[in-house]
Structure 1
């Protein structure tokens, strides 16, 4: 598939091995994994950071290569079950942070047309994500604006 804002194709990556069961050496109880996920979320980690922490540090010293295989649920599903899910989806939050920094940069450097275009692309992507999440994870009347994003992230 082509990239969203250029005419180039995407870069290829390696695929995860196709498997239905967690590895034999990772025999941690699913309840312990869920407790660790909620603990990391309460410390302020995003779902992707939680997955990396479980992969690297693990639970009780045993790494967890794939949370979904070990527990049957994704990290975000575990967080929703324990009412520890973030108020904004992680991808939308990251894009809003990027848009805020780009907007501040463009205000200081008015002749930077490349970053002005990057800001337009980022805000366009935010609007598409907002329409995707509206009604589910976001309020029905939520609309993106720079001021609203700055207020949400502070």
Structure 2
């Protein structure tokens, strides 16, 4: 299937091995992993950064195999979930960066198109999160208020 905003098809890439249980060499103490996840979140890390740190420093290749829960679920249980989901936050930061660039370079037509694409992705994600109940009803993306939201 083709991509939505590019004239190419998806490319094959590496796939994580299928496993039902964690490997023997990995750290599988669920309570310790949950404690590390909470500590890393309190240090200001996002869920993807937490996953990378767990993989690289603590030898946890897959948190779900070790604990039975995803990192987001652990944070939700502990009340440390961010109000804006990470993928939406990253897209909003990208759109704001492009908007800032266009304020200085207003004739950059290629990045005007990239801004349209980024903001349409943001709106589509917001629609999904509102529908799924993760974001409050009636929440909409406004570039003027997005910068304030991201600094919190």
Q: Using structure 1 for the length normalisation, give the TM-score.
A: 0.94
CA distance in 2, matches of 1:125, 1:152: 18
For residues 34 and 9 of structure 2, the distance between their equivalents in structure 1, rounded to whole angstroms, comes to 38
Deviates more, 1:124-133 or 1:102-111: 102-111
Post-superposition Cα deviations, 1:73-118, rounded to whole Å, max 9, x if no partner, equal: 0000010011111111000000000100101111211110000000
Please identify runs of 4+ aligned residues in structure 1 that moved more than 4 A.
Answer: none
Higher helix share: 2
User: What pairs with 1:24-35 in structure 2 (closer than 5 Å)?
Assistant: 24-35=24-35
RMSD over aligned Cα atoms: 1.0
Residue segments in structure 1 that go unaligned for 5+ positions in a row: none
1:143 equivalent in alignment to 2:140: yes
Paired positions, count = 150
- Cα–Cα, structure 1 residues 97 and 27, in superposed 2: closer, same or farther, change >3 Å? closer
Structure 1 residue 28, shift from structure 2 partner: 3.1
SS, match of residue 134 in structure 1: helix
Note the residue ranges of structure 2 that are not aligned, 5 or more in a row: none
- Give the equivalent residue in structure 1 for 2:119: 123
